[in-house]
Chains A and B, each alone.
Chain A
Amino acid sequence: MVTCAEVLRELSNFIDGDIDPKLRAEIENHLRGCRRCSVMLDSTRKTLKIVGDERVFEVPVGYSERLHKFLAKKLGTE
């Protein structure tokens, strides 16, 4: 039986599916009975969903235009 500390230690590998099947099954079993670990897993997954959305991290306004203008000068494609 895995402990909460072990679940926490393996949380990232668990999310990535990068974990031994036996340990995975033990963690899944633990999660069914442990609200705190379930909350940790759920909120960490939500964190990754949020940061992975391209609307969250934006480039500065006009970045692409300034980049193309810079390159056009250097490449001679103006």
Chain B
Amino acid sequence: MAAPDPLPHADSSVERDEAALIRDVRAGQKELFYELIQPYERGVYLTAFSIVHNQADAEEVAQEAFLKAFEHLDQLRSDEKFKNWLLLIAINEARMRRRKDHRNLYESIDEEAVEADDGEFMPHQFADWRDVPSEAYAKTEIKNAVLKAMESLPQKYREIFLLRDVEHLSVEETSKLLGVSKAAVKTQLHRARLQMREQLVPVFGKRWSDRLPFLKGRSPW
């Protein structure tokens, strides 16, 4: 009797080229779809979350987005990045979900009002920052603080910030995905970054006045 194969799925551990995976899934090897989407599961969820603002809805949006991606995989053009195509599907799904949800109608109006204020952003917190070892990023306190800061951003800022600074898309890619100009991406990203920084000062900041008390109260801005 032959000994059982110690590595019956050894072939699946071999990293496949994404283009080859797409070709094979299109050719009918459905089970390879899971391998294809694995690197993007987190990004699709976070993108959905940045729009629907709710964990359960973001999960459902992600599920529907991946299903749509599977069903329409033949529509992916060869010059398109699979990641960006997926994120666009997720953005559209999340926006549809948001529109259907009447609870968000009022929030949207409030946020439009916030965004209508185009005044210059002025920092209020001048604290220097501690050097935080990257091992500390996994701490619940830090994760909660960053999530809370992100949730405090107006909707449009949040989407741009997520795509640029969390998913590391370029200005051009972000502009294409969200259907806004590159100038708008840069302006709103700038405001989002400063607001995120401001929100996180209580967690990472040392009091400015503790370091340079003679400057207390003076603001060059």
Q: Which residues of A contact B (CB under 8 A)?
A: 3-5, 8-9, 11-13, 15-16, 18, 34-37, 39-40, 42-44, 46-48, 50-60, 63-64, 66-68, 70-71, 74-77
Contact = CB atoms under 8 A, between A and B. Distances in A.
A71 B71 CA distance: 11
Interface of A is mostly: helix
B171 A18 contact: yes
A71 B33 contact: yes
Interface residues of B, number: 51
Contact of B165 (A42, A52, A67, A71): A52
A46 B129 contact: yes
Contacts of A16: 171
Nearest to B204: A46
Given A46-B129, A67-B62, A51 B197 contact: no
Nearest to B134: A53
A34 B166 CA distance: 29
Interface of B is mostly: helix
A30 B59 CA distance: 46
A64 B150 CA distance: 23
B83 interface: no
Given A57-B147, A63-B45, A71-B70, A52 B59 contact: no
Contacts of A13: 186, 190
Given A5-B120, A57-B150, A77-B33, 18 more contacts: A5-B220, A12-B186, A12-B190, A12-B193, A15-B193, A37-B220, A40-B123, A48-B193, A50-B142, A51-B146, A55-B143, A56-B142, A57-B146, A64-B41, A67-B66, A74-B67, A75-B70, A77-B30
